Structure 1
Amino acid sequence: MEWSSSGWFPVVIALCVVALLKPLFDAVFFTPQSKNLPPGPRFFPFLGNYRWLFLSFSQMEPILKDLHAKYGPIVTVFVGKSPAIFVASHELAHRALVQNGASFADRPPPLVSSRVMSSNQKNINTSFYGPTWRLFRRNLTAEMLHPSRMRSFSKSRRWVLEVLMKRLGEHPGGEVVVVEHFQYAMFCLLVLMCFGDRLDEKAIRQVEDCQRRLLLRVNRFNVLGVWPRLGKVILRKRWQELHGLMNYQREVLSPLIEARSKFIQEYRQTDGEQQERTVAYVDSLFNLELPEEKRKLNEEEIITLCSEFLNGGTDTTSTALQWIMANMVKYPHIQEKLYQEIRGVVAAGSEEVEEDHLQSMPYLKAVVLEGLRRHPPGHFVLPHAVTEDAELNGYKIPKKGSINFMVAQMGWDPKVWEDPMEFRPERFLGEGRGDGFDITGSKEIRMMPFGVGRRICPGFGLAILHLEYFLANLIWRFHWKAVDGDDVDLTEKLEFTVVMKNPLRALISPSR
């Protein structure tokens, strides 16, 4: 018996319905374990998995904490179609990032917005593990982070210290909200290190404004990667906002780069090679050649690397410094103990705690380490990826997925740290701690505020130097106490970093 064309129509419709509903029904029974991924909640397609793109890390963190309590130290959730694996175990983090560092040193494919903001991954943070990443990291380490080069900026740090002290000194015995002053000081320092020039306050404010606008809005653009082609129509205004911010950044940073390039050319045409000059980070970028493309960096790529340099040393450092000072105000006995240590090293009447003094202050180092443990500026490191399918704790880690490490949870693990939510610098003193504490996690990971392994933040040494130097001088020059009737609120809020929800307000007076 032959079927008419109309007889086929219901069958075709039925098959189409089955094809459309099959992923949904499969999802009901599909769990990550069915593909030997780490355990996690069931995978629901469409809205059920894309919801993670709309969550901030502060919203994700309590959800992930519950998932770890249910499934164990390594879990899988799906972001879109891709698995995202989250690790909360010190041992597994060490096994992945240190013992198998080369395999876990890649980055996952970036979101569309990330490619725009990174000039198609032309910076250290987002580059895939390979020649381009090695070039950028080696250049930064050699040109700016070598100990001799770090020492060469001691005069710059002293200048910025006086800028900060002058601003704070305008409030003697009065109330001061410190975070704005810390941020401004860090931008003064990093702009000088990046572009080799001391800019006036108006120019510094403009650089700070363009950088922070991008940082504080970065999560708004994650949604642009859900359906990129359709999004260019539906989310046209958000695309315009992103491109507007990028254009603003170019307008601010491009003249600084051009001015420095002109200065270098004039310097070389004179007898400048025989004269001392301040070396700037941007100087090292003009002649870099991309190894795979065999060309020099274009202006957009230089802007991206300069922006990364500024962000890496300003917001994170000022955030960490505010958290530490909040605890100095909250716990006067810790502040007093630190002051007495400084007093035992620095001559009476000295206006500055010099960098050479820092090595003789173990309690100062303990305070900084405890601040980074208790209040890491980032509660996650940037996502890692494996270069090829790998195995961790018996589970598959797929090449196209991402693997994330929960920094804050590791620093607060009661199995590793006694009373982890207390601010207790003494835990870093004694044998095997203090100067001997390995922040790089090469032997074992107890906390990882800078990450660990091959993708560890290359500027961690500079960051610790800045924290120690400015903290010591803040305690040496001023006495800090809480505003009457106002206990220090340590509630957190996510911006680019995890900051104080209610910024620190303190009464300061000249040191006793």
Structure 2
Amino acid sequence: MDTPLLLLVALLLFLLPLLLLAQHGVRKGKNGGRLPPGPLAVPLLGNGQRHSVQHLVARYGPVVSLRVGTRLVVLVSDRCIAHAALVETGAALADRPAPTRAFLGETGHTISRASYGPVWRLLRRNLVAGTLHPSRVRLFAPARAWARGALVNKLRTSSEAPPHVAEELRHAVSCLLVLMCFGERLSEPAVRAVAAAQRNWLLFTAYRAHVFAFWPAVTKHLFRHRLQMGLAARRMQKEVFMPLIEARRERKKQLSQGGGDGGAGAPKKATTFEHSYVDTLFDIKLPDEGGRGLTDDDLVSLCSEFLAAGTDTTSTALQWIMAELVKNPAIQEKLHSEIKATCGDEQEEVGEEDTRRMPYLKAVVLEGLRRHPPAHALLAHLAAEDIDVCGYLIPRGAFVHFTVAEMGWDEREWGNPMEFSPERFLPGGDGEGVDVTGTKGIRMMPFGAGRRICAGLGVAVLHLDYFVANLVREFEWHEVPGDEVDLTERHEITTVMKKPLRPRLVPRRIHRVAAATQ
């Protein structure tokens, strides 16, 4: 054990008597609900042994309480209890834990991390109205076509056989989300620089920053080397993001002065889009801080959130869906038949309007999200007050996690839940009419539910429909003999394939070079 850890343990032991008293709190709610059961915990240190969610649920039931240090964490794996907690209790479980990484430049002024209140409402309303509204989403149709064309050409001309599909999917989605965020169609090296800076930051926060959640005023000194790693990752992110943000700020200023995109008489850049997410952020004034505008750190955090919410989640879901289509050629051919009947062979692409007329495509995507949700658990919710839910007490201040995967795999709700069967979402299937928003009831919730449901749900499904349809239209996807698809999972930023997908691709159509792939 290194010196910082020895000092931390000594400090914890010194404060042990105080924490024994602090942990003795309300055990029974006003309506009779009791604290959920869970494994024994050492005061202050919490539950030392790690347990899988499946093990905890099998032993203690659908709601489990754990101690992480002095913090109470509640795991909910039952769909009915999740609906009661997220939807029926209203705002009581709509808050988030307070940010603990301000010293790394990460503010709480993001949609996913802000406390439930005026700032959260302002930021979410801005995203939904300014970028995710259908009229805005349609503006990015050329961006989707560009990313799709670049992806198809990459897969057709790859020097690797079989190609690294997982990497190409991630890059294509990165191209699209970077363009939507910053309003500029960047070169491949520039997109990869943005993606690398973003991924380094996310990997640090996912795997290295957890020590700062516990007494950050102390741990940031004990783990100085790790702190420097985080500061370097954040600095790199700002160095890459800020020139793109400033370019859009300058463009906005010139447009407001009537100077056009590049000043009087300057031609418009063919790579510059009329609208971007960052454009909507410049005029925001924070109501709880005297009406000030967003700082550079705020802007970087919001852009990082936008990219994180749409890049790894979408590319991960795409890889899982395509892997299942490789393993299930009959499903793939049924989907191709629907695509061909809807679009024919002459169109350059399967358009967004086309996908709305494809029920089997919708079923394939929904089944992919049920069987392989990119995130197996939602971001933590914070109980703003004591809540009695279905006989359980969730105390004020508890962190509550909802286990998305277990709900979608519940054999009481789904026949053969581990089987990939899109037919379950067609008329007569056990998933017919499922509501992924969870408003009427939760059976699967890959996007969350309640007031904190993912604002990008509609755009995410649109992107999945669009890319899956076009990839199946362009190629036959086959397993490579001796290198079969392995559906073993591995947790990274999302839950990915441990062995990335590398299928054999056979073009279905005559090669047509995409218009713009730079």
TM-score, reference length from structure 1: 0.89
Task: Specify the alignment match of 2:296 in structure 1.
Answer: 299
Cα distance, 1:415 vs structure 2 = 0.4
Task: Specify the alignment match of 2:274 in structure 1.
Answer: 278
Cα distance, 1:484 vs structure 2 = 1.6
Among 47, 67, 73, the alignment partner of 2:56 is 67
Task: Specify the alignment match of 2:4 in structure 1.
Answer: none
Q: Deviations over 1:292-324 (max 9, x none)?
A: 111111111011101100111111000000000
Distance 1:42 1:289 in 2: 47
Q: Does 1:397 align with 2:394?
A: yes
Q: Tell me, yes or no, if the aligned pair for 1:91 and 1:445 is still in contact at 8 Å.
A: yes
Deviates more, 1:260-269 or 1:371-380: 260-269
Q: Tell me, yes or no, if the aligned pair for 1:107 and 1:127 is still in contact at 8 Å.
A: yes
Q: Deviations over 1:427-474 (max 9, x none)?
A: 000058888431101111000000011100000110000000000000
Distance 1:446 1:34, change over 3 A: closer
The residue type paired with residue 378 of structure 2 is V
Task: Specify the alignment match of 1:96 in structure 2.
Answer: 85
Cα distance, 1:82 vs structure 2 = 1.6
Q: Tell me, yes or no, if the aligned pair for 2:414 and 2:430 is still in contact at 8 Å.
A: no
The residue type paired with residue 300 of structure 1 is D
Cα distance, 1:131 vs structure 2 = 0.3
Among 474, 478, 484, the alignment partner of 2:475 is 478
More helix by share: 1
Q: Tell me, yes or no, if the aligned pair for 1:31 and 1:42 is still in contact at 8 Å.
A: no
Cα distance, 1:261 vs structure 2 = 0.6
Among 74, 84, 87, the alignment partner of 2:76 is 87
Distance 1:96 1:468 in 2: 31
Cα distance, 1:214 vs structure 2 = 1.4
Q: Tell me, yes or no, if the aligned pair for 2:85 and 2:93 is still in contact at 8 Å.
A: yes
Report the count of equivalent residues.
Answer: 482
Distance 2:136 2:469 in 1: 22
Residue ranges of structure 1 left out of the alignment (5+ in a row): 1-17, 53-59
SS at match of 1:508: strand
Task: Specify the alignment match of 2:9 in structure 1.
Answer: none
Cα distance, 1:155 vs structure 2 = 1.1
Cα distance, 1:395 vs structure 2 = 2.6
Cα distance, 1:394 vs structure 2 = 2.4
Task: Specify the alignment match of 1:4 in structure 2.
Answer: none
Among 334, 340, 347, the alignment partner of 2:331 is 334
Cα distance, 1:426 vs structure 2 = 0.4
Distance 1:43 1:290, change over 3 A: same
Cα distance, 1:270 vs structure 2 = 1.8
TM-score, reference length from structure 2: 0.88
Among 237, 252, 260, the alignment partner of 2:248 is 260
Aligned identity (percent) is 49
Cα distance, 1:43 vs structure 2 = 2.5
Task: Specify the alignment match of 1:126 in structure 2.
Answer: 113
Among 486, 489, 494, the alignment partner of 1:492 is 489
SS at match of 1:404: strand
Among 150, 174, 177, the alignment partner of 2:164 is 177
Distance 1:414 1:118 in 2: 44
SS at match of 1:127: coil
Task: Specify the alignment match of 2:181 in structure 1.
Answer: 194
Cα distance, 1:108 vs structure 2 = 2.2
Residue ranges of structure 2 left out of the alignment (5+ in a row): 1-12, 262-267, 510-518
Task: Specify the alignment match of 1:423 in structure 2.
Answer: 420
SS at match of 2:158: coil
Distance 1:104 1:119 in 2: 23
Q: Deviations over 1:53-82 (max 9, x none)?
A: xxxxxxx6x533222212211110011112
Q: Does 1:379 align with 2:376?
A: yes
Distance 1:184 1:426, change over 3 A: same
Distance 1:267 1:277, change over 3 A: farther
Cα distance, 1:386 vs structure 2 = 2.1
Cα distance, 1:158 vs structure 2 = 0.6
Q: Tell me, yes or no, if the aligned pair for 2:282 and 2:294 is still in contact at 8 Å.
A: yes
Among 79, 96, 104, the alignment partner of 1:107 is 96
Cα distance, 1:19 vs structure 2 = 9.8
Cα distance, 1:48 vs structure 2 = 4.0
**Moved runs in structure 1, 4+ residues, more than 4 A?**
18-27, 29-35, 431-435
Among 219, 225, 244, the alignment partner of 1:237 is 225
Task: Specify the alignment match of 2:122 in structure 1.
Answer: 135
Distance 1:118 1:436 in 2: 44
Distance 1:227 1:171 in 2: 49
Deviates more, 1:372-381 or 1:383-392: 383-392
